[in-house]
Amino acid sequence: MTDRELMTIAKRAAMNSYSPYSHFPVGAAIECTDGTVYTGCNVENAALGSTLCAERIACAKAVSEGHQQFTRLAIYADSQNWCTPCGACRQFLAEFNPELEVLCARAGDRYVSYRLSDLMPNRFEF
């Protein structure tokens, strides 16, 4: 699958976003080493801190289905800035692959590629 195809899946996932508070739909698509792809979208809550990000939902869906090895993650938002994962998601994702390739989109369907270890150096471990 190409980067562009993975990003298209993430973009489609953003359509399921539940984001009545921020009005900022986000979609994510995480690719497992066997090629399986799991999607996620942000799911907000009136208790704002209970909101779940698209990336963590995609990753948790994959793990709950028995996948723990990931190669790429695409994140889509129709935003001004590159939609990079928040700090909590960086830590969460680095648990499984600190070298994950992270594709971050912004409006216009352009995207940039980051190595997770560049976005999240010195992640917490014990």
- As annotated, the active-site residues are 55
Q: For residues 25 and 32, which CB has a smaller minimum distance to ligand THU in the complex?
A: 25
Full DSSP string of 37-95 = EEEEE-B--SSGGG-B-HHHHHHHHHHHTT---EEEEEEE---SS--PPPHHHHHHHHT
Contact map string, positions 19 to 58, toward ligand THU, x by CB under 6 A: x--x-x-x---------------x-x------x-xxx---
Q: For residues 23 and 34, which CB has a smaller minimum distance to ligand THU in the complex?
A: 23
Would you state the structure tokens that stand for residue 33, as one six-digit string?
Answer: 């080493």
Q: Count residues binding ligand THU (CB under 6 A).
A: 15
Contacts of 23 (CB under 8 A, 6+ apart): none
Q: What whole-number distance in Å separates Cα of residue 30 and Cα of residue 102?
A: 9
Question: Per CB under 6 A, does 83 bind ligand THU?
Answer: yes
Q: How far is the CB of 125 from ligand THU (least distance, A)?
A: 22
Q: For residues 31 and 55, which CB has a smaller minimum distance to ligand THU in the complex?
A: 55
Q: Phi/psi zone of residue 70: left (φ > 0), alpha (ψ -120 to 50 degrees), beta?
A: beta
**Which chain residues interact with ligand THU by CB under 6 A?**
19, 22, 24, 26, 42, 44, 51, 53-55, 75, 83, 85-86, 89
